[in-house]
């Protein structure tokens, strides 16, 4: 009888612990998606505002014409046509590597602030899409990306299949995309750009599901330790991973289907 009571107590404890982890996981994923969403809003607002400052319809204020009744301001010429554009282009990549190297020495609050600062930097880097593509096609591709991202992330969260083996292949694919993109800056080949965009959509679609499952598994693995500071930083890094998956998938789809000005 005592053994039965002990077993029942242990079973009840295990069930309560599992329920606590499930509740904690939901809160953790809500924080990941919430922080990512705020980052996306900051990036979109920054890109739109910066593109507005970079262009004007007044010829007297413009320094270079880029379309019918549209001119670059001196600010726009500085960020889009001067050597500064190379700094702006590669700033997000440098920012990500620096953030990853320093996050362990930051508090969770500091990591969140750095993430939002990165979102502004990404907005600056992406602001030129408002000069290249129509506003309608940007909104349309963003909606397509959001639907695809939601489906892929949901599948990564709910699937019982272990997709951790995808990681090494997907990371190699990202490195290949970065190298090919840098090479194509100098070649300017539309065929290479099309191939990069098509492969990029597939790679970042895979990464969306993979990263979602990894974020979930990492929480379950470390939740028992109860280190709230670590869990806070893990949520920020998870937000960054999914944010980058979304942004890159959006850019690749925009290159494939966006309607140019």
Q: What is the pLDDT of residues 184-211, one digit of tens each?
A: 888 888 899 999 999 999 999 999 999 9
Residue-wise pLDDT tens digits, 228-253: 677 788 899 999 999 999 999 999 99
Could you tell me the residue range of the domain that residue 247 belongs to? 24-257
Q: What is the pLDDT of residue 221?
A: 80
Question: Is residue 76 domain-resident?
Answer: yes
Question: Is residue 3 domain-resident?
Answer: no
Question: Is residue 163 domain-resident?
Answer: yes
Question: Is residue 232 domain-resident?
Answer: yes
Length of the chain: 261
Q: What is the pLDDT of residue 218?
A: 87
Give the pLDDT mean for 17-33. Answer: 80
Question: Is residue 79 domain-resident?
Answer: yes
Question: Is residue 15 domain-resident?
Answer: no
Give the residue with greater pLDDT, 24 vs 174: 174
Question: Is residue 183 domain-resident?
Answer: yes
Candidate ranges 110-124, 180-194, 217-231; pick with highest mean pLDDT: 110-124
Count of C-beta atoms within a 10 Å radius of residue 137: 17
Predicted TM-score (pTM) of this structure: 0.88
Q: What is the pLDDT of residue 129?
A: 93
- First vs last C-alpha separation in the chain: 79
Q: What is the pLDDT of residue 63?
A: 82
Count structural domains, the chain: 1
Q: Report whether pLDDT(6) > 50.
A: no
Give the pLDDT mean for 55-75. Answer: 84
Question: Is residue 6 domain-resident?
Answer: no
């Amino acid at each position: 009888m005592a053994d039965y009571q002990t077993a029942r107590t242990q079973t009840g404890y295990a069930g309560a612990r599992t329920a606590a982890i499930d509740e904690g996981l939901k809160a953790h994923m809500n924080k990941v998606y919430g922080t990512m969403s705020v980052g996306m809003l900051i990036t979109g607002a920054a890109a739109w505002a910066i593109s507005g400052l970079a262009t004007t319809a007044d010829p007297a204020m413009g320094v270079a014409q880029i379309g019918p009744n549209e001119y670059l301001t001196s600010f726009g010429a500085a960020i889009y046509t001067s050597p500064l554009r190379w700094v702006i282009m590669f700033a997000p990549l440098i920012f990500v590597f620096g953030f990853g190297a320093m996050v362990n020495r930051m508090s969770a609050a500091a990591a969140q602030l750095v993430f939002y600062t990165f979102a502004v930097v990404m907005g600056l880097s992406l602001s030129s899409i408002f000069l290249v593509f129509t506003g309608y096609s940007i909104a349309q591709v963003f909606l397509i990306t959001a639907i695809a991202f939601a489906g892929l992330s949901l599948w990564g969260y709910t699937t019982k299949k272990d997709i951790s083996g995808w990681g090494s292949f997907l990371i190699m694919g990202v490195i290949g995309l970065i190298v090919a993109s840098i090479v194509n800056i100098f070649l300017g080949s539309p065929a290479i750009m099309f191939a990069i965009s098509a492969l990029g959509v597939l790679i970042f679609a895979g990464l969306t599901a993979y990263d979602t499952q990894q974020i979930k598994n990492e929480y379950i693995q470390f939740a028992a330790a109860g280190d709230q500071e670590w869990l806070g930083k893990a949520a920020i890094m998870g937000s960054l991973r999914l944010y980058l998956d979304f942004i890159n998938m959006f850019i690749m789809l925009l290159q494939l289907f966006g309607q140019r000005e």
